[in-house]
């Protein structure tokens, strides 16, 4: 890997703005945000409620159309893609971890993880190999054929992480991933994601209030009123 | 005219060939007392129950039939009552009696001539074309369809057909709303799930197909079950009859209808219904599927 590849941002936003028209009064959820996130970063988006963390995450994930500005993933302006193209782009490039896990209750843990690869039309052999590797990584090999309702919150979230990375995305977006977990489960989940980040060079971006997540992050971006208030990288505060 | 020792009354005397007549009118099934006529009978008569009461007759009583022959001369013949029928049609019971055609022809001195020939078709759709054909070929004879003989019955049958169409439309509308309701509930209950699927990369076409496949599976289960239930119900009533005696006995009898109905449904009708139901269900599922693909993943995931 050459140095150019390492430093190239996987995510870049340019003058990103989102305005909601709540009760006829325009509210700026994201205000002119310029941001770059490089491959392999372990980033936490923090800030008070209503600061725009989830909105920024959704726009980076191609889920929420910005009012103005652009989002580039690997230098592809994702909002120039049509509806189906953007969904396909998400499928192949972005992994999602939700606060409430959002596993399909009728499918087993294995099927939940496999589902995303079915959408990618991967062969059964390939799917089985990836599932085996993923469940080993998340430490749930014995829970392959268990339905989500038989799993603890922490286990469900680990399955959700496995699902998020099953498609081999360029990065994983996690919206408050530890919000519904007890301390031990949250610590286990963070261990898992840290390991995947270090060993697989996987890029993670979290929105979080959780100090435990913030403590583990190597880059902390603080949002206030939709603007980047601070961007701390390895104990270095970058002022805006 | 039919006369007993006590009384006389005007009547229609039908000379029949029993074995052929029973194929058509099933009058033999209506015998309440005694037996139906046989081809080999000689000077025997079958009369209706109400006529029996009026003339104070019983089985094996003798009656005298009086009528004009081909030469307009009044002739009489004595017949023995072998059977008494009870008809679902009070007009038939009162005004018709059956004798052997050969006996009647001898009295009338008309050889082996016949006055009436009934043709029973397998398919009512052939009625008009055959009638036209017969009218052209045997123009010197009178050809009448059952609709011309009994226009009020024809009108009633047509009305029933129209009622059936109206009932079918109402049922299909109910089915339509049922499917929309079921599938819409299925979509609305899984908004979060569908939102998640769209977020992780399931495109709208696939979501649409998913909802359609679910509908097809429901229809695939419901149609055979419904058809089987209909088949069993119709088969049961076809065998044991649907008895409307308590509802409209006299009305039905006066109109010439049986008070016990034996419903039948042709296989083509089943196929037609299956096809219509499948199409209607398919169309009804379009709206829920459309609702699903219009969901915004961000809003859908936030729903509780």
Average pLDDT over residues B195-217: 91
Indicate the pLDDT class of residue B254, thresholds 50, 70 and 90.
low
Q: Specify burial of residue A239 (Cβ count, 10 A radius: 0-12, 13-18, 19+).
A: exposed
Summary mean pLDDT of chain B: 88
Express each pLDDT in B216-236 by its tens digit.
Answer: 898 899 999 999 999 999 999
Answer yes or no: are the C-beta atoms of B253 and B89 closer than 8 Å: yes
Distances (CA, A) of B65 to A113, B12, B122, B186, B232: 94, 10, 36, 76, 49
Q: Do B201 and A104 touch (CB under 8 A)?
A: no
Give the residue extent of every domain in chain B: 2-108, 121-149, 151-302
Chain A residue whose CA is closest to B194: A104
List beta partners, residue A18: A30
Residue given tokens 């709540």 in the structure block: A22
Give the residue extent of every domain in chain A: 3-239
Residue B67: name the closest of B6, B18, B17, B115 by CA: B115
Mutation target vs B (from A55, A63, A121; most B CBs, 10 A cutoff): A63
Task: Report the Cα–Cα distance between both ends of chain A, in Å, rounded.
Answer: 31
Q: Do B196 and A88 touch (CB under 8 A)?
A: no
Chain A window 84-103: which residues touch B at a Cβ cutoff of 8 Å?
84, 87-88, 90-92, 95-96, 98, 100, 102
Residues A68-72: contacts with CB under 8 Å, at least 24 apart: A68/A15, A68/A16, A68/A17, A69/A13, A69/A14, A69/A15, A69/A16, A69/A17, A69/A32, A69/A33, A70/A13, A70/A14, A70/A15, A70/A16, A71/A11, A71/A12, A71/A13, A71/A14, A71/A16, A72/A9, A72/A11, A72/A12, A72/A13, A72/A14
Q: Specify burial of residue B45 (Cβ count, 10 A radius: 0-12, 13-18, 19+).
A: buried
Pick left, alpha or beta for residue B102 (phi over 0 → left; psi -120 to 50 → alpha; otherwise beta): alpha
User: Nearest 5°: phi and psi at A132?
Assistant: -60, -50
Average pLDDT over residues B13-17: 92
* ipTM for this prediction: 0.84
Contacts of B204 in chain A (CB under 8 A): 83-84, 87
Express each pLDDT in B57-77 by its tens digit.
Answer: 889 999 999 988 878 888 899
pLDDT over 80 (residue B109): yes
Neighbouring C-beta atoms of residue A76, cutoff 10 Å? 11
Q: Do B298 and A167 touch (CB under 8 A)?
A: no
Smallest Cα distance from B181 to chain A, Å: 22
Q: What is the pLDDT of residue A168?
A: 87
Express each pLDDT in B144-187 by its tens digit.
Answer: 998 898 888 888 888 988 998 899 899 999 988 998 998 899 89
pLDDT over 80 (residue B213): yes
Contacts of A96 in chain B (CB under 8 A): 196, 199-200
Smallest Cα distance from B262 to chain A, Å: 47
Chain B residue whose CA is closest to A167: B200
Answer yes or no: are the C-beta atoms of A190 and A201 closer than 8 Å: no
Q: Do A87 and B202 touch (CB under 8 A)?
A: yes
Q: What is the pLDDT of residue B256?
A: 65
Contacts of A102 in chain B (CB under 8 A): 192-193, 196, 301
Strands, E assignment, A138-202: 171-175
Q: What is the pLDDT of residue A236?
A: 43
Pair of tokens at residue B62: 């003798």
Express each pLDDT in B23-68 by its tens digit.
Answer: 887 788 888 899 999 999 999 999 998 888 888 888 999 999 998 8
Q: What is the pLDDT of residue B249?
A: 67
Average pLDDT over residues B242-251: 75
Neighbouring C-beta atoms of residue B170, cutoff 10 Å? 10
Q: Do B201 and A63 touch (CB under 8 A)?
A: no
Q: Which helix (H) or strand (E) holds B61?
A: none
Chain A residue whose CA is closest to B295: A63
For chain A, residues with pLDDT lower than 70 are 1-7, 234-240
Q: What is the pLDDT of residue B62?
A: 92
Pair of tokens at residue A235: 């104990």
List beta partners, residue A28: A19
Neighbouring C-beta atoms of residue B145, cutoff 10 Å? 18
What angle, 0 to 180 degrees and rounded to 10, lies between the N-to-C axes of helices B151-189 and B191-200?
A: 60
Q: Which helix (H) or strand (E) holds A194?
A: helix A183-200
Contacts of B190 in chain A (CB under 8 A): none
Q: What is the pLDDT of residue A183?
A: 84
Query: Cβ of A62 under 8 Å from any chain B Cβ?
Result: no
Task: Report the Cα–Cα distance between both ends of chain B, in Å, rounded.
Answer: 87
Chain B window 201-240: which residues touch A at a Cβ cutoff of 8 Å?
201-206
Q: What is the pLDDT of residue B17?
A: 92
Q: Do B201 and A88 touch (CB under 8 A)?
A: yes
Q: Which CATH number fits domain A3-239: 3.30.420.40, 2.60.120.1310, 3.40.50.620, 3.40.50.300?
A: 3.40.50.300
Contacts of A172 in chain B (CB under 8 A): none
Class of domain B2-108 as given by CATH: mainly beta
Contacts of A164 in chain B (CB under 8 A): 200
Q: What is the pLDDT of residue B164?
A: 87
Chain A residue whose CA is closest to B301: A102
Q: Do B199 and A96 touch (CB under 8 A)?
A: yes
What angle, 0 to 180 degrees and rounded to 10, lies between the N-to-C axes of helices A183-200 and A153-166?
A: 20
Strands A42-46 vs A219-224: parallel, antiparallel or unpaired: parallel
Written as one string, the DSSP assignment of B195-243 is HHHHHHT--HHHHHHHHHHHHHHHHHHHHHHHHHHHHHHHHHHHHH-EE
Contacts of A83 in chain B (CB under 8 A): 204
Smallest Cα distance from B269 to chain A, Å: 39
Please give the Cα distance from A119 to A116 (Å, whole number). 5
């Amino acid at each position: 890997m050459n140095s150019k590849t390492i430093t190239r941002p996987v995510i870049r936003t340019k003058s990103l703005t989102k305005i909601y028209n709540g009760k006829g009064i325009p509210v700026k959820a994201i205000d002119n945000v310029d941001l770059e996130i490089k491959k392999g970063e372990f980033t936490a988006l923090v800030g008070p409620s209503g600061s725009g963390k989830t909105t920024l995450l959704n726009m980076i994930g191609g889920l929420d159309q910005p009012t103005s500005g652009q989002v580039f993933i690997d230098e592809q302006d994702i909002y120039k893609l049509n509806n189906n193209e953007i969904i396909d782009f998400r499928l192949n490039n972005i992994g999602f971890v939700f606060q409430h896990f959002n596993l399909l209750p009728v499918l087993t843990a294995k099927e939940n993880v496999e589902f995303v690869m079915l959408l990618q039309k991967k062969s059964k052999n390939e799917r089985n190999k990836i599932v085996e590797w993923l469940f080993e990584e998340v430490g749930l090999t014995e829970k392959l054929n268990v339905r989500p309702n038989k799993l603890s919150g922490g286990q469900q979230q680990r399955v959700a992480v496995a699902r998020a990375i099953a498609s081999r995305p360029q990065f994983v977006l996690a919206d408050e991933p530890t919000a519904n977990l007890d301390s031990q489960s949250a610590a286990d989940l963070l261990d898992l994601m840290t390991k995947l980040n270090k060993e697989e060079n996987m890029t993670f971006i979290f929105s979080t209030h959780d100090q435990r997540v913030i403590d583990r992050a190597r880059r902390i971006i603080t949002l206030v009123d939709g603007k980047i208030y601070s961007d701390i990288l390895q104990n270095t505060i970058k002022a805006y | 005219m039919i006369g007993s020792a006590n009384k006389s009354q005007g009547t229609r005397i039908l000379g029949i060939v029993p074995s052929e007549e029973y194929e058509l009118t099933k009058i033999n099934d209506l015998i309440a007392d005694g037996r139906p006529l046989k081809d080999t009978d000689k000077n025997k008569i079958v009369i209706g129950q109400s006529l029996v009461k009026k003339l104070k007759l019983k089985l094996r009583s003798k009656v005298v039939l009086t009528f004009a022959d081909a030469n307009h001369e009044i002739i009489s013949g004595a017949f023995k009552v072998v059977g008494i029928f009870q008809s679902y049609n009070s007009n038939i019971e009162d005004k018709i009696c059956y004798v052997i055609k050969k006996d009647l022809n001898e009295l009338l001195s008309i050889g082996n001539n016949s006055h009436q020939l009934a043709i029973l078709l397998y398919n009512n759709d052939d009625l008009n074309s055959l009638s036209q054909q017969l009218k052209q070929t045997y123009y010197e004879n009178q050809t009448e369809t059952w609709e011309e003989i009994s226009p009020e019955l024809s009108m009633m049958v047509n009305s029933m057909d129209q009622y059936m169409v109206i009932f079918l439309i109402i049922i299909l509308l109910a089915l339509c709303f049922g499917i929309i309701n079921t599938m819409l509930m299925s979509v609305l209950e899984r908004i979060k799930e569908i939102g998640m699927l769209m977020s992780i990369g399931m495109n709208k076409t696939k979501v649409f197909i998913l909802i359609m496949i679910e509908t097809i599976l429901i229809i695939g289960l419901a149609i055979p079950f419904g058809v089987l239930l209909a088949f069993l119900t119709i088969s049961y009533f076809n065998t044991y009859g649907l008895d409307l005696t308590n509802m409209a006995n006299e009305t039905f009898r006066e109109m010439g209808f049986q008070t016990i109905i034996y419903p039948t449904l042709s296989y083509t009708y089943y196929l037609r219904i299956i096809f219509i139901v499948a199409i209607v269900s398919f169309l009804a599922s379009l709206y829920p599927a459309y609702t699903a693909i219009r969901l915004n993943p961000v809003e859908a995931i936030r729903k509780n």
